[in-house]
Structure 1
């Protein structure tokens, strides 16, 4: 009986010991205990960026991995913010797994800094830190902040929409333009019936891309195909800082007694993305035409002799025939060329 009694006591002690060990392990999972943030260092703290060094590595960041108190896959993200803004507006760049250093070309760094809304041609101060996380349940940890003074330069950057509307041919992808590389891109694309899906890429290839996580939300190198909300001409506005995409109605058409639908409805034009003009080949009769935006009279152009006038007089068409029409809203001109 004594032997059984001693064995029982031993088992209780063992269970209690194992329970304590388990509690110790759980305690180490707590985000406020035994967590050591990553360390981040920059190889320089003052830069003047230029187009001449756009393809050179201009900034190198080195990091020491964080320690969460146990083995886990860590996601590290570089955060760029304006000095003193406390990262309210932030540009994030994911560091590939296993890397202890990351270099940025002049073009890349220039784009990231301009995304924060700073002026070009003059020095601005930035804060840079590393955000480390393992999952949504554990709070991320941040490195100490490193300072950078840099002068971005004015530049134009592009995104490309590879998709069903152009049969997924990379070379034929239409472009979205950011005139100042501030992370906000816009462009107009025509989506035919049943061909609404696409992805956005920094180059006309699949090395990197933006997909959709939900309507209006995009993610870098992830997500599903983005889907336009309807057929027709749509203006896309993409913000790669906020990771959003907005679709707006944006179409131009001709209307008038010379057009196939008369004054009752527009004959829609198609946007030439590469040349940023609107085009249409159509049979016209002798009569008159005007140009309208979004099938409404709120924005319309008339004119004469190839010059557009907002709300101006009807444009005369002297002879019936097939015409190539070009509407250039940048130059404020139009052409009617009889074939």
Structure 2
């Protein structure tokens, strides 16, 4: 019994000694100074023309700790008064001390915060220094009024190229990936779609095309030889069965494609022939757009754009009838792409002769312009 008691007492004493040593080994972290952030402007209007140039330049000092430790820095952006929720972030180095953000980077930040373009918005900005996932220290908050722009869809959506023997007549260059129509991926998911115009398929080499990426031939894809909508690397040229406009879909990851003819016209009770027949568009190679140079429209009716004198494929407003302003381009939507709610049409506020222009070069932003003559 005495031995058991002795062993028990020795265990207690040993535990107390180890515990004391562990307490002695613990170090208290002290934040000896806060980080700071400064910027060279209090307001800026972003400009897509100089998108890659610096718009704002920041300088900062890191917080200091005793003992000295490493941490991760980000700069946070939020609309004034939102308590940084939602927030957009930009990673910065611990050692850089100064950095610049371009017009494009800041415009992307505004888009992340769901801020409408062309309107000045007060943006709060602060430096966040994170020790781990749960512990962070913050600098002072600075305020900058930032005006964003509507980004050019040609620059922000992924695309593939459709070089071919048809392209020269369409306003591009034959068999040149860097000068050919593009198919865009509006969902940024490796699924590309868009339109090409083929003027003739009469000759053996006329009306042929294939798909390229990065505006060059390496990595190009063509038909796998079965003519069943399957692609392979460096595959065969694809020949259109007839002249006209084609709507093409490509799944780059799955190596599949489809192509359907889609010749558009305008129809509606605002047009001279009502709902009975279409007035067809003519492709203009110099502008790479589809044009009706003059058509009388009434202000009491509506009109839509349909393909192949049929209702399967239509260009319409996204939802609800839309009255157009003369000379002002608007985004138009195609019914088969799931972007249209209901069956809306377009209107004009004044009766008269109009020029109608459809710009279909980018499937992420089909553009319609109606101009009173």
| TM-score (normalised: structure 2) | 0.41
| TM-score (normalised: structure 1) | 0.44
Q: Which has the larger radius of gyration?
A: 2
